[in-house]
Every structure is written in C-alpha cells, then in structure tokens.
Amino acid sequence: MAKGYGEELTYFCRMQTSFSIEQSLTNLQIEALNEMQEASLEANKTSDAVILLSDTGSGKTLAFLLPILQLLNKNTTVTQALIIAPSRELALQIEQVFKRMGTGFKITCCYGGHLRETEENNLMQAPALIVGTPGRLADHIRRGNITTGHIETLVLDEFDKSLEEGFEEEMSFIVGALPALKKRILTSATEAVEIPAFLNLKDPVQLNFLTGEKSPGLAVQQVRSDDKDKSDTLFRLICALGNRSTIVFCNQREFVNDLSAYLKDKGIVNVFYHGAMEQQERDSALCKFRNGSANVLVTTDLAARGLDIPNIRYIIHYQLPNTEESYVHRNGRTARMDKSGTAILILAPHERVPEYITPEPAAIDLPATAELPQKPVWTTLFIAAGKKDKVNKVDILGFLTNKGQLKKEDVGLIEVKDFFSFVAIRKSKASHTLQQIKTEKIKNKKVKIEVAK
C-alpha cells in the first residue's frame, strides 16, 4: 500500500460499503497509488471543487474514482454520482476500470451510436454511478430516464476536450439539472483552459501535475519523404519497423480511409478508426488492434485520448498535428507507465519540424528496399451474442475449446459487448474451427459466428 495513504480512509470506505481499496488495487494489478492519485484523495477530503491537471497516461481515472467511492452509500438505491466524458471510448474505459475494481456498486455507461433502449433498461434500476457522453446523458435526463435529485458528485473528465468538441450547451444543461450537486471534480491533461461559468466553481483546489516534459521512455524521430504524397514513405517506414503495435495519426477522416486502403493494397494488415463509423465498426476495429489481429491502426485525433491499449510501440504522425496539445496527446498513447515508445514524424519536402518540438528529432534513413512485416498470427471472430444474451467470456472459451476443438493457447483476447462479442483465435486454426462450430449452439442458441469484418 502507498506510504502515508491513511488507515482512516480505508476504514471509512469499509464502513460505507463492502468495498476494499487494497483489494481493488489488487484487482487492477496496481501495487501502490502514485503521488498524483494520493494528492487527489487528500484534496477531495476537504474541498468540494477540485481541478486535477495531469499528463496523459498518469492514472487520472483512478484519481477520481477513488474519491467518488468515498462518498457512495450502499444503503440507497438512487444514482449518486455522474461522470461526463468527451468520447464513447473514454466513457467505456472508465466503466471498465470501475468494474475491474470490484466495488459492488452498479455502474451504467451511456453513449451514442447504439440503441438507447438498451441503456433505458439498464437505468430502470438506478445505478449508483453513471458515466457517459454529454449528448446522450442530456437526452436521458430530458426523457426522465435518469433521476437527478440525489446526484451529489459530478466529474468532468478531460473537460477541455468536451469544450473543444462543442459540448458546452449539453454540459450546462446537465449541471443545471443536478439540484443536489455538492462536489465537482474536473480533470484535464491541458493547462490554461478557461473554466465555464455554468460550473459555478467556488474556491477550487487545483492540483497541477503536468510536467511539460515528454515521458522519459519516449523517443522522438523524423523521416523525410521525397514526395508531397507521403504514403509510400509511410509504407516503407512500417516495413522497417516490423510487426510492432503502431498508430498512424491523420488530421482528416478522408485521409484515414484512403491511407488504410493504400496500406492494405500494399500488403500491410491494418484497421482504421474515426468518428463517422458505426459503433460496432469502431468496436471491431479497436478489438482487432488490441488483440493483435492487426498491428497497425490508422486514425484521427479521436484516438489521441480515451484509448487505453497497452504496449503500443510506435506513434506515427503521418500528418503533423495542428497544435502542441494534439501532439502531446497523440504521443501519450505510447511510453505509458514506465514503458518505452517512439513517436515518428513524416515530413514532406515543404514541411518543417514544429517549433514546439525540441530538440530536433533524430533522422531515420529507410532501407532502399521494403520487406513486408510478418503477418499477425491472430484473427478475430464476431459472435452475434453478448451480455444481454447471458453469454460471458467463460462460455465463449468453453465453446471454442469443446466444440471448436481449439486449445486454450489458441484463444486470445475475448471481449463481450451487450449484444455481440469478439474473440481472437489462431489464424491457422480459423477455417477448421468455423467448420466445426457452424451447426453448434452457444447457451442452447444458434448464433451467427464469422470472421469479424
């Protein structure tokens, strides 16, 4: 346990709930809280308004979830806390962290892009904690699906991003609909953002853990393109890097689609991801990237925040970021939690390294000939059944090992959503497995199973 954490805090939480801080940290595979997380706990004991500024990947989610848990009361069946996040992915990540903590409290995640009725059913029995995106949360409040009268704690995670995305009107409405609101916690990885007046912060405590420095494990490099069209340079760079986990950032969605198609035509297995995709498409792309079915993700700045995918080795700035903040957030996807990573800028003849990047990044000379990296050994299956069908990871693993004749080591990451699931299996076994299970049932129900699109 972190030194100086305070036995009285653990005792308090145990009195309020069956929640054990030590057990939750164990569940999260965290040995001790960091300095920022401890400071957040202390500040939230004495202040009803806390602004937490800390670098991407520093553990802000836990820094606000633990203070929330100090305040939740298990002896009530009303919603007590609300978390607003700027993107679906960040909201889902917060929900996943909370569930992994094993607190015993119910949480519901609300976001656009899937059926509202699913969330309405989840909200019928009020969860202690709700997390979601501004638009969907405001919609539920207007429809009366969320009872706000007992919500005393509000968190605005990455509040600067929500403002940047134009959610100020929705956030103002939500805050105005919380008559019992007492505590406000704001988090950001960016300094000097004006606090909106509608939040009515009184004497907030500001905790500034922004270092202004890149992660010690992050290396920054550059590679020059001979042509204005940098796609061939990107192809040769990916070939040189090998089959390591890589995110390629673009500024516009149309570039993402075109670049992904170009790389695919050249033999690079990749997935793409941006805000215009349907939710199932987004889930599929991110799952394939997480489980190693594709080692390259081509994306917009939507993926610069809220994606907690471990062991990303390379960040490639195919198009230069528009701002220094964008550059920092993109790079924050790698070199996390004391791991190493490399950010690489691809520069056309007319482009220069932005002034905010110092010192000058080291130059890379690409090999004269490109050799395709090794193909991924995993492929992803789509299963048209999920949590709402009472299907879980154990069910899927048992089905694939028994009916699909796979060994446990042939099954990789399993992700179960509300109405569908994704599972990675050895690509070499996929054809045989699909043949074996095509007439079989999961939980006595025949469901569609195919290679994920």
Instruction: Break the chain into its structural domains and give their ranges.
Output: 7-209, 218-363, 378-451
Q: What is the mean pLDDT of residues 145-173?
A: 94
Q: What is the mean pLDDT of residues 110-122?
A: 91
Average per-residue pLDDT for the chain: 91
CA distance 259 to 331: 20
Q: What is the mean pLDDT of residues 416-441?
A: 96
Predicted pLDDT at 15: 38
Predicted pLDDT at 107: 97
pLDDT top residue among 421 and 8: 421
What sign results for the dihedral spanned by CA atoms 358, 364, 370, 371?
negative
Distance of CA 391 to the CA centre of its chain: 23
Are the C-beta atoms of residues 218 and 335 closer than 8 Å to each other? yes
Q: In the structure, what pLDDT confidence band is assigned to residue 332 with cuts at 50, 70 and 90?
A: confident
**Common-topology check for domains 7-209 and 218-363:** yes
Q: What is the mean pLDDT of residues 233-244?
A: 96
Predicted pLDDT at 8: 40
Domain 218-363: assigned CATH number: 3.40.50.300
Q: What is the mean pLDDT of residues 435-446?
A: 94
User: Which fold, 7-209?
Assistant: Rossmann fold (3.40.50)
User: Which fold, 378-451?
Assistant: Alpha-Beta Plaits (3.30.70)
Nearest of 128, 66, 131 to residue 101 by alpha carbon: 66
Q: What is the mean pLDDT of residues 9-35?
A: 69
